[in-house]
Structure 1
Amino acid sequence: DGMWKFAFDPESKGVEANWAAGLPNPVSMPVPSSFCDIFTDKDSREYCGDFWYETDFFVPGEWSGKEVQIRFGSATHRARVFVNGVEVVSHEGGFLPFDATVTDIVRYNQYNKLAVLLNNELNEYMLPAGQTATLANGKKMAAPYFDFYNYAGLHRPVKLMALPKERILDFSVVHRLVEGGAEVDYTVTTNGDHDVVVEVFDGCTKVAEACGKTGTLKIADAKLWNVHAAYLYTFNVRIVDGSEVIDEYYDKIGIRTFEVKDGHFLLNGKSVYLRGFGKHEDADIRGRGLDLVTVKRDYECMKWIGANCFRTSHYPYAEELYQMADEEGFLIIDEVPAVGLMESTMNFLAASQGNGKKVGFFEKETTPKLLENHKAALTDMINRDKNHASVIAWSILNEPECTSEGTEAYFKPLFDLAHEIDPQKRPRTYAIIMKSFPNTSKGQQFCDFISLNRYYGWYVMGGMGISDAEVAFRREMDGWAKVLNGRPMIFTEYGADTMPSEHKLPSVMWSQEYQNEYLDMNHNVFDSYDFVQGELVWNFADFQTTEGIMRVNGNKKGIFTRQRQPKDAAFHFRARWTSLPLDYKGNN
């Protein structure tokens, strides 16, 4: 990480011109960060097409004989990586890690050149989905089908690694609560045949040990991981040859169980009511680049307001956020970047009301390739995040077009895949757009719990019409009650745009007073139905979007400003959430 060289490549001539050996006329660019908001001219901020990063790195001579890899936390949206002019890996998808093996390409005890060609154009078979338009002046412009800014760049850390030739490739755990403690079934994958030893430490005290690539660790009087009361054990995995340690890996893991049962969410067998946010990785200047100061401030704000959960809308976040959630005792609904799967360049308004283009998104020529990319992203996300105690569920899509004939054929293999590859078999869901109702949504049948995005009183029947909005809202809720079949429901989005500068009595839309009135109406509806088991308001903080007449320099539905300062609604939520018991509407 640090300052790299950077250059735009609008004519896509960099590969042929051997830019991998050195960029012509580069500028400096920090990694990790988005490149967009660093610039002061609009063409650079809105740039769409190929662009390059370059840096030099030193490989110590003592690494000779090891496996040398370069690991990217993410590269948005697609990347080709070159080391010393040789292409070593390519990757599609901008929100999950990948690595390149460069053992035989790097020069030891010397500096080596790393160049990365990225591209941020949108299409209908990628996640997230959209289009790329060409303006009359020949410049490309992103046309997203999603309502957040198309930030791009090397958003997460880039790491140089030296690994033993025989090493641990993967490690997974499944927890069970038993009389007197807990049992943890584990699986270790290696690329060799030597013995494996797994130890569990509570601080400096060893509390369990097992041998073999699969086995069960028995932990007496286990201290369970819980909401805002996180307890983490250190799991140490070793490949050994007698007394010699060939490879070693450790992770901090919380022991807990999570399930959906009898219409409730059960954490360690006890009911828990979800309260919190949809979020974004989004901050001033940094864009979507990892910034630990912002991450820490977000957790402090969420603790202050009484939240216990958030959804990683609309993509997997940086790993550091999950590690901090494990340490702070927050619950996460982990979402794959499947957003914009509805053909409308204003899907946040037109499509949500059913006024967008009437196109079956899953009956196109691009659908097979989209499904392939979707499966790959889902697999990578689950493989990365499967051991986090904080991760309680998988969100497999956000606001897809889910009323057309192709819905079921597209959804079923994804829901099946999530169940197959997750050792802990977490519950699965997707966020259902407003025009998809109980009797029209063809995808809800696959969900272990229902997640609704609803904006009664904002996008529909707002202002003076909010009384009609509540009537319509309750009518829809009565319809959902007939199809839940014992499943719980949560709200993954509800909210109203609000300017922190606006106060008005009586209220008008966009004022802080109206935001609180809107929230009161929604909470009255939630509290009226026992099957509602969670409320994740949209959004934690104001965030950047594409320019448009519906957005005032971004989405202003934040309970906090983009600078992480509270609006009036934050105090409203703090009063509500700190007064609700953890097992609100529980049955235990």
Structure 2
Amino acid sequence: MLEYSELYPIQNGHRMMQSLDGMWKFQFDPEEIGEKSGWENGLPAPVSMPVPSSFADFFTDHKERDYCGDFWYETEFYLPAEWRNKKIWLRFGSITHRGTVYCNGMEITSHEGGFLPVLADISTVAKPGQVNQVVVKINNELNETSLPCGATKILNNGRKLAKPYFDFFNYSGLQRSVWVIALPEESVKDYSVDYELCGTDALVKYEVVTTGEHPVIVRLLDAEGELVAETEGKEGILQVANARLWEVRNAYLYQIVILITDGNGVLDEYREKIGIRTVRIEGTKILLNDRPVYLKGFGKHEDFSILGRGFHWGIVKRDFECLKWTNANCFRTSHYPYAEEWYQFADEEGFLIIDEVPAVGMMRSTRNFVAAGSGNYTYFFEALTVPELLKSHIADTEEMITRDKNHPSVIAWSLFNEPETITDYAYEYFKEVFAAAETYDFQSRPMTGAFEKNSKPELCKCYPLCDFICLNRYYGWYISGGPEIEEAEELFRDEMDRWKAKELNVPFVFTEFGTDTMAGLHKLPSIMWSEEYQKEYLEMNFRVFDSYEFVQGELAWNFADFQTTEGIMRVDGNHKGVFTRDRQPKAAAVVFKDRWEKKNELF
């Protein structure tokens, strides 16, 4: 159980909130002098920086865009006098990758991990009725003891440079919204829900955690706000007659209302939208509400021009409109948990999510995808850093599941992406991660992870841990590309035949497949990087997918072009997007749109 509450902030008669989004002060600290120089009391020579956003792409100088090391943020806010006698918290949607929070010059908390909320209890130092100061020290260096994995190189001039073991840019900063929130002395800390379908009715099982001992009332309201069910107790069952189910692209949302009472009145109230639905694996099928569903969609990134990984509702809206246009129904939060608002919108729109912990880069390489393609890597899980990494991995997994467990859109947890999996060391490592994850999810969702090409059916040790198997495969791109695409199809079918021969009786989902494609590059006959080749490649993959009944999903790589570390393998980023970075369709988008419109599914 986390020491703090990850519940999304709301405002009512008992809870108050104030956004701190806007322009903050910002300063790099390459000499690491901030702490001993008292920067927690105010930055000496700051520039302006918008929050939420990544800092990198606002600058016009290499040293600033690629900065690696310590850097600081500062802002001020007025705390209303009526917040006295409340528990006051600062809530950061994320601090990437590690941060220390100060309020009014006092250190409050530190946190490791850049993609999940950070909570700082400032009740003892905050000054209601006055202007208060917040300072955050952040570090974005990469290492092998925290997620995502990488290294930090020291150049001859002393400057640090991030060397990720993954293929996306190391965007960092305050990339999600920041709030100051006020809670009553006794408050709802957490809740969990699970569902059971009983004919046309449903049971909503729940658990509530509070910070005190007073009794709890739990209510369920329908979409019109009418009372559907009510009961008392921190554990219980709500009986729902003629339940409206949450379905793919047809999302019906109820509202759960949790009240803490003292006999005279309400001490706290928390409410949130939830959807009644079940998800389970049966043989080679993925069942949503006891009916098979075929996953159609993409791996994505939180990535956009200038903003980097910074959250913006406009991007959310455009991306979901593009997803709907392609007839998709699912996406994976590759390769980290996204901002909470993505899940809220998926709940509203009826999209499925495979939620992924930031366990990427678990191969010792400055280019994870190159190492994966060549097989030229060392065995990662034999390193002395592994015990510390395992602690970070489990901590991130607990935080992700605690935050996202009540979203109906989340149908599975992905606990890794493309690690080394062919040693007993790897198996023992991931066995502990999966065992821990199982204890955090009240719904016991399916668990999985994405396997790269060296995780062959004869060699991979870790696939037995997964409830369904996710494959990242690039036959026709990294393997036998261009004029060798017919041979690529033969190799692809050969591998799939070997998986079939194992008779695993579980679903397979392709979580990556794709080609880098330059928008507007046309060639007849097709050549690699052209839009014609992207279509040809996809058609080959679809033929293979459709040949194996245990294939139950296809999530292409990637939804949109995205930024990466620069190098000879990349031309201003990864161009495997079906959409450009500014969300305009390439020719392949129509291929998906047509296929997925015709693809047989019950939703």
User: Does TM-score exceed 0.5, indicating one fold?
Assistant: yes
Aligned AA (1:194): H
Aligned AA (2:187): R
Question: What are the equivalent positions in structure 2 for 1:101-116 lying under 5 Å apart?
Answer: 101-116=121-136
Equivalent residue number for residue 330 of structure 1: 351
Q: Is 1:566 equivalent to 2:585 in the alignment?
A: yes
Equivalent residue number for residue 566 of structure 2: 547
The match for 2:232 among 194, 204, 211 is 211
Q: Is 1:500 equivalent to 2:512 in the alignment?
A: no
Aligned AA (1:298): D
Shift, 1:400, TM fit? 0.2
Equivalent residue number for residue 8 of structure 2: none
Aligned AA (1:65): N
1:347 and 1:204 map into 2 onto residues whose CA distance is: 50
8 A Cα contact 1:126 1:373, kept in partner:
yes
Higher mean Cα deviation, 67-76 or 478-487?
A: 478-487
The match for 1:486 among 489, 493, 505 is 505
Aligned AA (2:123): T
Q: Is 1:162 equivalent to 2:177 in the alignment?
A: no
Equivalent residue number for residue 252 of structure 2: 231
2:469 and 2:439 map into 1 onto residues whose CA distance is: 20
Shift, 1:482, TM fit? 2.5
Question: What are the equivalent positions in structure 2 for 1:317-466 lying under 5 Å apart?
Answer: 317-354=338-375, 356-357=376-377, 359-466=378-485
The match for 1:19 among 11, 31, 39 is 39
Equivalent residue number for residue 119 of structure 1: 139
CA RMSD of aligned residues (A): 0.9
Q: Is 1:260 equivalent to 2:281 in the alignment?
A: yes
Q: Deviations over 1:433-483 (max 9, x none)?
A: 111100101111101000000000000100110011000100000111123
Aligned AA (1:265): I
Shift, 1:420, TM fit? 1.6
State the secondary structure of the residue aligned to 1:431. strand
Identical amino acids, percent of aligned pairs = 57
Aligned AA (2:493): R
Equivalent residue number for residue 302 of structure 1: 323
Shift, 1:485, TM fit? 1.8
1:180 and 1:347 map into 2 onto residues whose CA distance is: 49
Q: Deviations over 1:156-181 (max 9, x none)?
A: 00100010011111111010001341
1:347 and 1:250 map into 2 onto residues whose CA distance is: 42
Q: Is 1:2 equivalent to 2:4 in the alignment?
A: no
Q: Deviations over 1:33-65 (max 9, x none)?
A: 000001111110000000000000111111111
State the secondary structure of the residue aligned to 2:236. strand
1:220 and 1:484 map into 2 onto residues whose CA distance is: 41
The normalised TM-score by structure 1 is 0.98
Shift, 1:580, TM fit? 1.0
8 A Cα contact 1:338 1:398, kept in partner:
yes
Q: Is 1:270 equivalent to 2:288 in the alignment?
A: no
Q: Is 1:41 equivalent to 2:39 in the alignment?
A: no
Q: Is 1:526 equivalent to 2:565 in the alignment?
A: no
State the secondary structure of the residue aligned to 2:598. coil
Question: What are the equivalent positions in structure 2 for 1:274-289 lying under 5 Å apart?
Answer: 274-289=295-310
Higher mean Cα deviation, 428-437 or 536-545?
A: 428-437
The normalised TM-score by structure 2 is 0.96
Aligned AA (2:236): G
8 A Cα contact 1:353 1:434, kept in partner:
no
Equivalent residue number for residue 470 of structure 1: 489
Higher mean Cα deviation, 103-112 or 489-498?
A: 103-112
2:602 and 2:266 map into 1 onto residues whose CA distance is: 46
2:520 and 2:172 map into 1 onto residues whose CA distance is: 30
Q: Deviations over 1:65-109 (max 9, x none)?
A: 110000010000000011111100000000000200011101221
1:531 and 1:3 map into 2 onto residues whose CA distance is: 51
Q: Deviations over 1:408-428 (max 9, x none)?
A: 110101111111211110011
Higher mean Cα deviation, 267-276 or 474-483?
A: 474-483
State the secondary structure of the residue aligned to 2:509. strand
Equivalent residue number for residue 158 of structure 2: 138
State the secondary structure of the residue aligned to 1:362. helix
2:478 and 2:513 map into 1 onto residues whose CA distance is: 10
Shift, 1:263, TM fit? 0.9
Aligned AA (1:39): F
1:294 and 1:61 map into 2 onto residues whose CA distance is: 36
Shift, 1:352, TM fit? 2.9
Shift, 1:24, TM fit? 1.1
1:34 and 1:582 map into 2 onto residues whose CA distance is: 39
Shift, 1:350, TM fit? 2.6
Higher mean Cα deviation, 433-442 or 328-337?
A: 433-442
Shift, 1:405, TM fit? 2.8
Alpha carbons of 1:67 and 1:327: their partners in 2 closer, same or farther (altered >3 Å)?
same
Structure 1 runs, 4 residues or longer, greater than 2 Å off: 350-353
1:290 and 1:194 map into 2 onto residues whose CA distance is: 37
1:77 and 1:551 map into 2 onto residues whose CA distance is: 24
Shift, 1:191, TM fit? 1.5
Shift, 1:583, TM fit? 4.0
8 A Cα contact 1:542 1:558, kept in partner:
yes
State the secondary structure of the residue aligned to 2:593. helix
Shift, 1:383, TM fit? 0.4
1:490 and 1:296 map into 2 onto residues whose CA distance is: 26
2:289 and 2:374 map into 1 onto residues whose CA distance is: 39
Q: Is 1:60 equivalent to 2:80 in the alignment?
A: yes
Q: Deviations over 1:185-224 (max 9, x none)?
A: 1000011111100011111210100100000000000000
State the secondary structure of the residue aligned to 1:387. coil
8 A Cα contact 1:344 1:351, kept in partner:
no
8 A Cα contact 1:360 1:405, kept in partner:
no
2:543 and 2:58 map into 1 onto residues whose CA distance is: 43
State the secondary structure of the residue aligned to 1:578. helix
Q: How many residues align?
A: 582
Shift, 1:348, TM fit? 0.9
1:362 and 1:484 map into 2 onto residues whose CA distance is: 28
The gaps in structure 1 that reach 5 residues or longer are: none
Shift, 1:404, TM fit? 2.1
Q: Is 1:80 equivalent to 2:100 in the alignment?
A: yes
2:521 and 2:145 map into 1 onto residues whose CA distance is: 41
Shift, 1:484, TM fit? 4.8
The match for 1:291 among 295, 312, 324 is 312
1:419 and 1:5 map into 2 onto residues whose CA distance is: 41
State the secondary structure of the residue aligned to 1:406. helix
The match for 1:178 among 173, 188, 198 is 198
Q: Deviations over 1:103-122 (max 9, x none)?
A: 11012211111000000000
Alpha carbons of 1:191 and 1:484: their partners in 2 closer, same or farther (altered >3 Å)?
farther
Q: Deviations over 1:327-368 (max 9, x none)?
A: 0000000000000000111211232331x22x2111111000
2:504 and 2:480 map into 1 onto residues whose CA distance is: 30
1:514 and 1:105 map into 2 onto residues whose CA distance is: 61
Aligned AA (1:146): F
State the secondary structure of the residue aligned to 1:237. strand
2:427 and 2:443 map into 1 onto residues whose CA distance is: 25
Aligned AA (1:246): L
